[in-house]
Amino acid sequence: MSIRDEVEFLRQVPLFADIEPGQLQVLAFSAQRIEIAAQDDLFAAGTLVGAGYLVLHGQGAVLKPGSGAHMHAALVETGAFLGELAMIANLPVSITVRAHTPMRALRIDHDMFLRVCGEFPDFGAKVLAALTSRLDTSLEDLRQAQACFDRARPFTRP
């Protein structure tokens, strides 16, 4: 896969949708290409991976830690971007991602992400704006869910 193809994949990620192609080329060029075998974990919940991952090929599952086992939460497919906060803020991941099929991904390291932000301040500002917009949407969804709970009748015991 060419850098141009990888840039097009990055442009499909909402976090990078408004980023200039040249800046995405720098990000794609500096990213590490990794292969994950079927049934292997891309990363495990609670680990400090220090990177975001763009799935270039393959399928997997998002697993959330549950009561003694992992619960299947979502399907991961080509084009998925995983570990945003690990890439941006170097925080531990809260999910496990396990490959169902062999997967190929771009690994965008936290330090490289910060370096690109430093060299292209508008890049960092646009990523922050996209993240803020997503956070605003999530907070509004939570407010609406809270309003539904507030309107619900209380449970009574028979």
Q: What is the pLDDT of residues 42-101, one digit of tens each?
A: 999 999 999 999 999 999 999 887 655 567 778 999 999 999 889 988 999 989 999 999
- What does the pLDDT read at residue 70? 65
Asked, for residue 156, whether it belongs to a domain, the answer is no
The model's pTM = 0.81
Asked, for residue 67, whether it belongs to a domain, the answer is yes
Q: Residue 59 maps to which CATH number?
A: 2.60.120.10
* Host domain of residue 98: 3-151
Asked, for residue 62, whether it belongs to a domain, the answer is yes
Asked, for residue 52, whether it belongs to a domain, the answer is yes
Q: What region, left, alpha or beta, does residue 108 occupy, with left being phi > 0 and alpha being psi -120 to 50 degrees?
A: beta
Number of domains in the chain: 1
Q: Could you give the CA distance from residue 113 to residue 121 in angstroms, rounded to a whole number?
A: 12
Asked, for residue 157, whether it belongs to a domain, the answer is no
Asked, for residue 72, whether it belongs to a domain, the answer is yes
Do residues 65 and 45 lie in contact, with contact meaning Cβ atoms separated by under 8 Å? yes
Asked, for residue 114, whether it belongs to a domain, the answer is yes
- What does the pLDDT read at residue 28? 92
Considering the chain, what percentage of its residues have pLDDT values greater than 90? 53
Asked, for residue 30, whether it belongs to a domain, the answer is yes
Q: Of residues 9 and 150, which shows the higher confidence score?
A: 9
Cα 151 to Cα 80, 132, 137, 140, 155: the distances in Å are 36, 29, 21, 17, 12
pLDDT over 80 (residue 115) = yes
Q: Could you give the CA distance from residue 57 to residue 80 in angstroms, rounded to a whole number?
A: 10
